[in-house]
Structure 1
């Protein structure tokens, strides 16, 4: 396996090179036009719905992937930071090779330097020698080199120095663990964001992708998918729920396969990214559909070994 780093704001990870449609083309370029892609999806009746079975997950600018194979301009990858029972080395899928890069200085810095974690929903990155800016989303992280005049100096995947507004980042090698109330407050910043199947970025989340990034921002590593998220952490009774706990829902009136996850926010309510056409919102656990399909709750208070 060869390590590479994501060189676009958001990299879509597909189930195979044949799965992207013509309307997905803006997301396959470098730089990737994610806003343009989402606009095209919304212009088609089944644009977002038909991502099911096509889009597996997403990776953010600067994140590492393992390349395990190549075919016709595509890389077969594993995402080591996204735990999944699908593959022990990381979440599996395919990405365009053009969206990946490698520079030895970045590789070294990624392993040893503090990281600048983007904690704003979005910020702008300006590369050295280039006045143009590019969007960088929530929980993107780049090696931090210092701060000058209110700007964080970072290293980008191609080995070029860039600048970010210092007010939009947190500098740490590993983010400190944050409690449930802080996780809830962070999640509430995304209320109203449209659902995106496979989404793990502030351009759009699916249910487990939202939980994955919120917990990452709180210094807690959890698996990528809802079914895997339900296997770890401490199981807690429904009557003992605390803000920041994960609540899970399953088919067959809560007895079948887990298909959904949200975050308990208190007062019998939970925050979640429901499904296509239904943006991030807060619902009550007592509502008929959720009461019928609720199956269990988990509490993560620190990162676990998977």
Structure 2
């Protein structure tokens, strides 16, 4: 049985291979992670060069199955990020220093209460009064409340505090309607794109819709082509607000390379590419009008959890 560890930094990059790390990426490997320092140093070309280097990201407290250890690195699968190429979860490499485990954290069950960060970001205050900025949709075990703050358990067993106004507490997030998803997505207009990004410090296209749907209580696969495959197919003239819209190479006939979320009146919101932040476009805008290849609808009845680990 694989060892289970948990992301112990605000957001950890999941790498294709340790040898894909560049010198400029070193701040993203530390613990605590210097994520904003790393992002600030990346111009558009350096961000584009992350293609083939990064696979995905983990949020603070997110579980991984450890498949292999090589020195300071772990080969892992992320069970909360569905991808059919590995039934155990989305695969990649993470620095061992960015992972942790504690018995109390690990044994939290599905019926226990959790606190989800529902604000764009939130400050977690640790026992030594140091603070960590958490991403939207970070989930941590709930312990209690005190003086307007939620008490949560961290992966290494510490107690932390988050303002009550920044979290939603419950056993699971409720399924929300399309209006909620659209309103939530619009909060991130202008956020810079990040290849493989799964956090509110920077999203890629499929990471963006994955987290927006999660906020609405709906789990969908991690990558755009898989999101298209597993949702209910929707034709262009049948699109409804909250549906996913997909775009493909070869004038829409080739491989799917992009996804957004339909709003209404022929418009969709998406995280386009390096150099272009989260924005709203019309389906007729170039190149989207040429590359549109269909839509997909998710209702929340689907299940895409690759493992029972703290799911």
Shift of 1:103: 0.4
Report 1:1-306 matches (<5 A).
Answer: 1-42=2-43, 46-109=45-108, 111-128=110-127, 130-306=128-304
Shift of 1:288: 3.1
The verdict on how the C-alpha distance between 1:105 and 1:111 changes in structure 2, with shifts beyond 3 A counting, is farther
Q: Which runs of 5+ in 2 are unaligned?
A: 305-311
Shift of 1:132: 2.0
Give the Cα separation in 1 of the matches to 2:80 and 2:18. Answer: 22
Of 109-118 and 196-205, deviating more is 109-118
Contact 1:222 1:303 in 2 (8 A): no
Give the Cα separation in 1 of the matches to 2:71 and 2:146. Answer: 43
Shift of 1:86: 2.0
**Secondary structure, counterpart of 1:18 in structure 2:** helix
Shift of 1:227: 0.5
Give the Cα separation in 2 of the matches to 1:242 and 1:111. Answer: 32
**Secondary structure, counterpart of 2:276 in structure 1:** coil
Give the Cα separation in 2 of the matches to 1:92 and 1:262. Answer: 24
Contact 1:11 1:59 in 2 (8 A): yes
Give the Cα separation in 2 of the matches to 1:139 and 1:300. Answer: 19
- Give TM-score scaled by structure 1 length: 0.97
**Secondary structure, counterpart of 1:190 in structure 2:** coil
Give the Cα separation in 2 of the matches to 1:110 and 1:125. Answer: 22
Greater relative contact order (CA < 8 Å, ≥ 6 in sequence): 2
Shift of 1:135: 0.5
Contact 1:179 1:301 in 2 (8 A): no
Q: How many residues align?
A: 303
**Secondary structure, counterpart of 1:36 in structure 2:** helix
Give the Cα separation in 1 of the matches to 2:239 and 2:179. Answer: 12
Give the Cα separation in 2 of the matches to 1:185 and 1:299. Answer: 18
Shift of 1:303: 4.1
**Secondary structure, counterpart of 2:155 in structure 1:** coil
- Give TM-score scaled by structure 2 length: 0.95
Q: Which runs of 4+ in 1 moved over 3 A?
A: none
Give the Cα separation in 2 of the matches to 1:116 and 1:82. Answer: 19
Deviations 1:122-148 (Å, cap 9, x if unpaired)? Answer: 1100112x2221101100010001111
User: Residue 309 of structure 2 aligns with which residue?
Assistant: none
**Secondary structure, counterpart of 1:87 in structure 2:** coil
Contact 1:14 1:56 in 2 (8 A): yes
